[in-house]
Amino acid sequence: MVDESEDFAKTFHVFSDWLHQFDDKNGVFVTVGDHELGVVMPRQLEIAGLAAEGESEETCFKKWVDVKATLEEITKSPVASSQDADYTDGLHQAMDLLGLKVESSLCRAKDGVKNLAQVLTVMQRLIVLRPNKNL
């Protein structure tokens, strides 16, 4: 399946075209940790040769809501991430801290989104979610 997929550069251009149909400059991605958008995405853009084209300047990749950091701030409890030596799933741990029940497998993207939505719903009641500082 992966071998039959488009390469990253083409997929990124399709994604960018899709994203630009929305005029919402206030939209933001939500992650559990900074690694994916703070480290992996800039590196992948560079590897694919897209950073030179200005593709890395997409604002959606410059700010995001880090559920892990926000939750740590409001609960004063650490939330593990995939970068921690004693890794446990950060989303699962966030759900435990908020007293939420995992309704399905964390291994499936659709289920992960449902679980993240539960976390965001509770967190929104506790605080105002705000994006990280621009990188």
What's the CATH code of the domain at 40?
Answer: 3.30.420.10
Model confidence pLDDT, tens digit, residues 64-82: 888 888 888 877 877 775 5
How many CB atoms are closer than 10 A to CB 21?
A: 6
Residue type, 26: N
Residue 132 covered by a domain: no
Residue 108 covered by a domain: yes
Flag whether the pTM goes above 0.85. Answer: no
Residue 68 covered by a domain: yes
Q: What is the pLDDT of residue 118?
A: 92
Give how far the C-alpha of residue 46 lies from the chain's centroid of Cα atoms, to the nearest Å. 19
From first CA to last CA, the distance across the chain in angstroms is: 34
In the chain, helix, strand, coil percent, each to 5? Answer: 55, 5, 40
Domain containing residue 102: 2-126
Number of domains in the chain: 1
